[in-house]
A and B are shown apart, each in its own frame.
Chain A
Amino acid sequence: MKRFTQHMLFWPAITLALLLVASSLFNPSFLALTWRDGHLYGSVIDILNRAAPLMVVSLGMTLVIAVRGLDISVGAVVAISAAVVALMIGGSFSATGEVQSAHPLWVALTTAMAVAAACGLWNGLLVVKAGMQPIVATLILMVAGRGIAQLLTGGQIITVYYSPFFTLGNGFLLGLPVALWIAGSLWAALHLVMSRTALGLFVRSIGGNPEAARVAGVRSAAITLCVYTFCGLAAGVAGLIVSSNVKSADANNAGQLLELDAILAVTLGGTALTGGRFTLAGTVIGALIIQTLTSMIYSLGVPPEVNLVVKAALVFAVMLLQSAEFRQLVAGAARR
């Protein structure tokens, strides 16, 4: 029993389960799944679909935090990636009234992802080569990135009319949302790499003690660089899903406050912000907790503004639970 409760995923999973139970108490049809238009349909599917971009970003953020970093530019990278893909697809109406893409879809998607990865690489270079604190290094792109995205779109919201692109954010594959497949396969791939190769061990050792890892022969600079690049790439993929979902690119609002939600998801999942200890599955659960909470607040008819206050309470609670000083205080009070 003790081994069970001390598992890293125990508390995140319990939180999510409680939220799901609460949701289904308030809304009896919450857990209901029906088959409609050739795919599964229901509140749970909706939550999974909406949580997908956050999951993707948070997975990248997990690795960055695991190597004692932080990336607060992911929201801006989402905006850049969305702007690039919308511009590349363009969308002109042909004589027959059919919408055509300016570039082949795969070229547009690859370019957007490459640009996002380059943003991540830039962050990584500032951290590794210039030796800046991660929060400062990524602050630069956070401030400038949204400006760059607005520059690309000319300050306008670019609407995309090319329908094959909508599959990413709205389509279904084998009855489940395509976005969920993307997030799921990303998690599976990362999980395999981190548990079946030495990379997971290296990442943990860099986060645990960078100096010791370097002395032990771990190529920490190269690995940290890769981790930041991957985080940028993940933000780029999220940007593709978001822009596909809303069929447009809004440089000003795409991915707004996403960096905070991602850090929150990572923390909720049980990854230590001090680095070293991380759990990818926990992060996925963390993202689901945030989205379930949001959906629950909406479906309760409570003004959505309360969402922020609830989130704040959640962050305070999780932080205190992770703090050794607070646990000591509680343990001391319990003994008395």
Chain B
Amino acid sequence: MNRKLLPLTVTIVLFVAMAAFGAIRYEGFLSLQVFLNLLIDNAFLCIVAVGMTFVILSGGIDLSVGAVIALTTMISATLLDAGWNPFAAMALVLVLGAAFGALQGFLIQRFNLAPFLVTLAGMFLARGCCYLISTESIPIDDTTYAAIAQARIPVGGGSSLTIGGLIALAVVAIAMRIAHSSEFGRTVYAIGGGESSARLMGLAVDSTKIGVYLLSGACAALGGIVMTFYMLSGYSLHAVGLELDAIAAVVIGGTLLAGGVGYVAGTLFGVLILGIIQTLIAFDGSLSSWWTRIVVGALLLLFCLLQRLFEGRTPKPA
């Protein structure tokens, strides 16, 4: 078997095992709606994690995504309050998110700065801008937003999916296509494998590096839009710490944090595993919410150790 597929296989097996555990242990767990809810409740996380996958594949990291989501919800709520057309508002926040990401990418690429620090400052900036707009939660009562929030797409058997969940699935599908059969995707993998060799191969390293952060910023803004559907409010404390969940989902999905190895499909399962942990804890009822964090930490440890094993005899990068 292809060695590179092993982490992805482990992730999927783990997900199936957890689902089976839940099905045996708890009544009513094994229904289509429970699994669709995993997607519905984590739609924004899924979208953000897909963007993060590209960043991590290229060997970088983006800590600003949670703050960009919060800023998106704030700007959306403010624009709608001012009587903007909802679709114009969505388009504007998408462009703003992409521009924010591209600016970070430019700083990282042009001045050779550490992605960790640039996006950390980006996180401060975006969160701070939220507070500048308002420290209060701004409710959204736009009819279009409310209609989208309540819309249910039946998928048979009395189960249904929300528009947010559908967007998340579409993002995963598009991202898989970009990652595995486009020039951009190939260049991202090449940069993660070794930036100087990618450059020597004549690949467009500079523009791709900026593009990766642009994509992550756009995904964060899209995630923010989906979150406004979910929460119907703009609030500066939305999505605090979401960047950690997104990174965890990517790592649990089998993507190597050093870059160059991983699959977008793995990230989808990483998100679903984070979701199923919460669902299992909710079904159990006797476990407190902080067990989620401890279990996620343990899974992170497991996957990082697994990755070290796979890297095996390859020399450690300095």
Contact = CB atoms under 8 A, between A and B. Distances in A.
Contact of B290 (A150, A211, A263, A315): A150
Interface in B276-299: 288-294, 296-298
Contacts of B257: 133, 135-136
Contact of B117 (A211, A251, A273, A313): A273
Interface string A237-261: 0000000000000010000000010
For the residues of A in contact with B, the DSSP-based class is helix
For the residues of B in contact with A, the DSSP-based class is helix
B305 A130 contact: yes
Contact of B293 (A135, A147, A260, A303): A147
A151 B131 contact: no
Nearest to B63: A260
A326 B111 CA distance: 6
Contacts of A303: 131, 135
Interface string B299-318: 01100110010000000101
A320 B111 contact: yes
A260 B308 CA distance: 27
Contacts of A210: 318
A273 B117 CA distance: 10
B315 to A, nearest CB: 10
Interface string B122-141: 10110111011001000000
Contacts of B135: 303, 305
Contact of A139 (B107, B244, B293): B244
A308 B240 CA distance: 14
A31 B305 CA distance: 53
A309 B247 contact: no
Contacts of A140: 297, 300-301, 304
Interface in B106-162: 107, 110-114, 116-118, 120-122, 124-125, 127-129, 131-132, 135
B111 A308 contact: no
Interface string A123-137: 000100011110111
A324 B107 CA distance: 13
B132 to A, nearest CB: 6
A143 B293 contact: yes
Interface in A292-311: 303, 305-311
Given A131-B308, A133-B258, A312 B124 contact: yes
Given A309-B132, A315-B121, A315-B124, A139 B291 contact: no
Given A139-B247, A143-B297, A210-B318, A309 B128 contact: yes
Nearest to A151: B290
B210 interface: no
Given A132-B304, A140-B297, A140-B301, A305 B131 contact: yes
Interface residues of A, number: 48
A267 B297 contact: no
B49 interface: no
Contacts, number: 130
Contacts of A37: none
Q: How large is the interface on B (under 10, 10 to 19, 20 to 34, 35 or more residues)?
A: 35 or more
A306 B236 CA distance: 13
B248 interface: yes
Nearest to B112: A325
A135 B116 contact: yes
Contact of B111 (A126, A135, A313, A325): A325
Nearest to A143: B297
B43 interface: no
Contacts of A126: 301, 304
Nearest to A310: B128
Contacts of B111: 319-320, 323, 325-326
Nearest to A273: B114
Contacts of A313: 125
Interface of B: 61, 107, 110-114, 116-118, 120-122, 124-125, 127-129, 131-132, 135, 236, 244, 247-248, 251, 257-258, 288-294, 296-298, 300-301, 304-305, 308, 316, 318
Counting from the closest, the 9 A-B pairs by CB-CB distance are A144-B297, A147-B293, A305-B131, A308-B128, A309-B128, A312-B125, A150-B290, A312-B124, A315-B121
8 contacts: A130-B305, A150-B290, A211-B318, A260-B120, A305-B135, A312-B121, A315-B117, A320-B111
Given A306-B132, A311-B128, 17 more contacts: A70-B116, A135-B257, A143-B293, A144-B298, A146-B293, A147-B290, A150-B290, A151-B291, A260-B120, A267-B117, A273-B117, A303-B131, A308-B124, A312-B125, A316-B107, A320-B107, A323-B111
Interface of A: 70, 126, 130-133, 135-137, 139-148, 150-151, 154-155, 210-211, 251, 260, 263, 267, 273, 303, 305-313, 315-316, 319-320, 323-326
